Structure 1
Amino acid sequence: MVVFVQKAITSEQLQAFSQALEADKKHDVLRRAVTKNGILATSADYRSEVDMTPVFSIDLDTGDVANQKQSGRCWMFAALNTMRHDMKDRFKVAKDFELSQSYTFFWDKLEKSNYFYNNVIETASLPTSDRKVAWLMTTPQQDGGQWDMITAIIAKYGVVPKSVMPESYNSSKSNELNSTLNLKLRKDAVALRELVANNASEEELEAFKTKNLGEIYRILSYTLGVPPTKFDFEFRDQDNNYHIEQGITPHEFYEKYVGWNLDDYVSIINAPTSDKPYNHMYTVEMLGNVLGSRGVRHLNVDMDTFKKVAIKQLESGESVWFGCDVGQESDRQKGIMDTELYHKDQLFDVDFAMSKAERLDYAESLMTHAMVLTGVDLVDGKSTKWKVENSWGDKVGTKGFFVMSDNWMNEYCYQVVVNKKFLPQELQDVLNEEPKVLAPWDPMGSLA
């Protein structure tokens, strides 16, 4: 083993740095430009905007974009958007029709709280300094989630139209609700760990959970509204025909107006790290919301397969939920995600290149946002760019739609959800294998 002696920066080193900078006058020009305009504006390449023209050979008509506002519900918006796209085609609902994100938000918060309580009990024998306990307490619950978590909510509670349970202040701006819930959950964690330490019975632990889940239900009811158990659904379709459905339940509404077999939809990931060989199943410890659901399951595949199955689903006329690291090499206002958008390496004469696996292993990247693929441009059968429906309203991109280059997908997309019928038979067979359990902090357990 090499013995490394830590050393401070010396005055000789500083002098050498300064002399090297002053030796070339171009550095002064670049310094002025970056100081005035910032890194991104100075390194931006206008040619990216030309290449990312929003025209696609496959372009689904999915209606108007939604707006998650100041909340972290992108995964929920993206999933419900894929379902309303199908409703628009089958029932001709209005282009601005939405399923209620506030309804699924309510149940997700309640279920995540129960999930947290159970994880606290499971880890109660560990010290608070243990990494698992520290990980739990860092964020007892949050807005984010994964595809399998929204399907668990829908399977248990169904869905409702947004007109029946509309947005509230707290669903659109969730910071106050999250800080309040996390304060309560951490306080309850103290009490739960003390109960376990004092050898409380299973009945005593369950009674504690029931009491405090009731309090959380009250908090959610005040902040988000009470979820409906039955409601009337009336609308005029795009041909101006009137429809009404009276006294329908959330489950009945889902079965009639969405009707997907959620078990048919599977999470496909691309994680090229050495600990996750391709063509195998993975899950993540302590990741989920609804206890007793199928849990989060990922099939890891190479990027070529990843894109092929997404294209097949788009070709069939169905949009695709996907997860990515949206903040990398992207322009929110222009709605462009492209690895050629900025050239910081050329600006600073510094090599910033990392492989996708290195970015995952060294915490430079992970899934941060979920959106919907609604189109792709194919040239000679190969994808060149993709149409993306975001959930940030219609003031960004092209009326809320973004353009993603094919190479950006290669580097920063980590997950797509497709109907398993689009997978090759050998991969459909892999879906049945027992998944390898990843650590709670694995990047594939990140919440969009």
Structure 2
Amino acid sequence: MLTSEIKLNQINKFQQNLDNRKDSKVVERAVSHQGILASSEDFTAESKMHPVFSIDLSTGNVADQKQSGRCWMFAALNTMRIRLMNTFKVSDGFELSQNYTNFWDKFEKSNYFLENVLKTADQPLDSRKVSWLMTTPQQDGGQWDMLCALIEKYGIVPKYAMPETFNSEKSAQINKFLNLKLRHDAVALRELVADKASDAKIAETKETMLNEIYRMLVYALGEPTTSFNFEYRDKDNNYHIDKDITPQDFFKKYINLNLEDYVSLINSPTADKPFNKTYTIEMLGNVVNGRQVKHLNLEMSELKKLAIKQLQNGESVWFGSDVGQSSNTKKGIMDTSLYVPDELFDADLSLSKAERLDYGESLMTHAMVITGVDLVDGKPTKWKVENSWGEKVGTKGYFVMSDEWMDQFVYQFVINKAYLTTDQLTAQKQEPTVLNPWDPMGALA
């Protein structure tokens, strides 16, 4: 392979080529002062993203995850609260407790990490799996199946029953010190395994670790609710109270959702993942022995049909995407035509969706909820999206997503099995292929 360093005569040639461009100084001034995105924004694209939709579900006020990475929780709980609000005529502004779910997620993720430390204790520290494991022992993000595993074990509660704390809204500090604690514990567990300690000794040590982790989480997030009074006034101003209800019973009675009916569908057009096959990811999860993360890979055209069916039946759609791509968060627009940096730089910046996944350019970073779609001659042109960044962005917190943006940057939908075709249902039941821990389909929203 021919390799060489950059030569000075090459630099002179490159500069001369730039000097020969009549617009180079104009572009340089614009980009250096305004930034790449502002200088490459195509304002004509904005006019096509008018927030009016032929199917538009009413979903209440937008929530705000603040300075935390809990979008997957907010998105899922937002879909569930609407179910409760519609059934029991609860007024707008009602929320389910994201902090309650957050507490149990961090506690379960800690145990999941320690279990994976023990499973990989015979591998050297520089093995790829151990290195991957230690990079981020736990974090705020998650996936749909992980949320289901938490609810199936712990239930859910209204927000007032376990409100937000400083550390739930601004999670950097608790993440820093919890990960420090987990890495400290990883050292101790690996040493016990190396010293051939008994299973009883390892179990005793791990229980002590979990006790300390529980204490840290209570101090940071508050003691988790075990029972509460559910009281509210409905839209007719009638008062209701249900005393001493548990989180599990609250979910069964007021949400009344069979989580087994909802499955994760992905679009990953990479060569290693044939369509109509199922996949899971090694070492991805939170609840040990809980629900498995499982994805059925489908063509995007099939995913859209299913999403539209679900919306037409009055039910919103949880989805995962790479929200930072071609996105104006202030205006609440996600559109592949919004910026044209390739024209600005006169450089080919194109990659296919598969190439972005294979070469590390894109992966799922954020979960939101689809609450509407604009159908023209039966085909989608744009989608209404409920975000969890408060009401100061977009249209009171709602975004508009172009159909082309969905094609390129949406990776996951959660769909009720009732809308799947017979062939899709059969495919979903397959035993999943196990992917490496670092596979992009294992990214946490």
TM-score of the superposed pair, with normalisation by structure 1:
0.99
2:161 aligned with 1:164: yes
Aligned partner of residue 434 in structure 2, secondary structure: strand
How far 1:421 sits from its partner (Å)? Answer: 1.0
How many residue pairs end up in the alignment?
445
Q: State the Cα deviation string for residues 81-125 of structure 1 (Å, max 9, x = none).
A: 010111121111121100000000000000000000100000000
Q: Which residue of 1 aligns with 2:65?
A: 68
Q: Which residue of 1 aligns with 2:55?
A: 58
Is the 8 Å Cα contact of residues 85 and 319 (structure 1) preserved in structure 2?
no
Is the 8 Å Cα contact of residues 333 and 401 (structure 2) preserved in structure 1?
yes
Distance (Å, rounded) in 2 between the aligned partners of 1:238 and 1:96 = 12
How far 1:5 sits from its partner (Å)? Answer: 3.2
2:273 aligned with 1:267: no
2:7 aligned with 1:10: yes
Is the 8 Å Cα contact of residues 177 and 223 (structure 1) preserved in structure 2?
yes
Taking the TM superposition and a 5 Å limit, the aligned residue runs for 1:250-265 are 250-265=247-262
Distance (Å, rounded) in 1 between the aligned partners of 2:227 and 2:26 = 67
How far 1:295 sits from its partner (Å)? Answer: 1.0
Aligned partner of residue 84 in structure 2, secondary structure: helix
Is the 8 Å Cα contact of residues 389 and 397 (structure 2) preserved in structure 1?
yes
Distance (Å, rounded) in 1 between the aligned partners of 2:273 and 2:77 = 30
Match of 1:434 among 419, 431, 434: 431
Distance (Å, rounded) in 2 between the aligned partners of 1:25 and 1:49 = 29
- Structure 1 residue identity aligned to 2:285: G
Match of 2:126 among 118, 125, 129: 129
Distance (Å, rounded) in 2 between the aligned partners of 1:207 and 1:119 = 17
Distance (Å, rounded) in 1 between the aligned partners of 2:97 and 2:200 = 36
Q: Which residue of 2 aligns with 1:90?
A: 87
Taking the TM superposition and a 5 Å limit, the aligned residue runs for 1:375-414 are 375-414=372-411
Aligned partner of residue 370 in structure 1, secondary structure: strand
Aligned partner of residue 163 in structure 1, secondary structure: helix
Q: Which residue of 1 aligns with 2:235?
A: 238
- Structure 2 residue identity aligned to 1:197: A
Q: What residue ranges of structure 2 are gaps of 5+ in the alignment?
A: none
Is the 8 Å Cα contact of residues 75 and 146 (structure 1) preserved in structure 2?
yes
Q: What residue ranges of structure 1 are gaps of 5+ in the alignment?
A: none
Is the 8 Å Cα contact of residues 232 and 246 (structure 1) preserved in structure 2?
yes
Q: State the Cα deviation string for residues 290-332 of structure 1 (Å, max 9, x = none).
A: 0111210000000100111111101100011000000000001
Q: Which residue of 1 aligns with 2:109?
A: 112
Distance (Å, rounded) in 1 between the aligned partners of 2:291 and 2:247 = 21
Match of 2:344 among 334, 347, 350: 347
Is the 8 Å Cα contact of residues 159 and 250 (structure 1) preserved in structure 2?
yes
TM-score of the superposed pair, with normalisation by structure 2:
0.99
Identity of aligned residues (%): 63
Q: Which residue of 1 aligns with 2:214?
A: 217
Q: Which residue of 1 aligns with 2:279?
A: 282
How far 1:6 sits from its partner (Å)? Answer: 2.3
Q: Which residue of 2 aligns with 1:199?
A: 196
Query: Superposition RMSD on alpha carbons, in Å?
Result: 0.7
Is the 8 Å Cα contact of residues 269 and 414 (structure 1) preserved in structure 2?
yes
How far 1:256 sits from its partner (Å)? Answer: 0.7
Match of 1:311 among 299, 305, 308: 308
- Structure 1 residue identity aligned to 2:166: Y
- Structure 2 residue identity aligned to 1:191: A
- Structure 2 residue identity aligned to 1:379: V
How far 1:215 sits from its partner (Å)? Answer: 0.6
Q: Which residue of 1 aligns with 2:413?
A: 416
Aligned partner of residue 296 in structure 2, secondary structure: strand
Bigger shift: residues 18-27 or 361-370? 18-27
Aligned partner of residue 427 in structure 1, secondary structure: helix
Q: Which residue of 2 aligns with 1:141?
A: 138
Is the 8 Å Cα contact of residues 90 and 235 (structure 2) preserved in structure 1?
yes
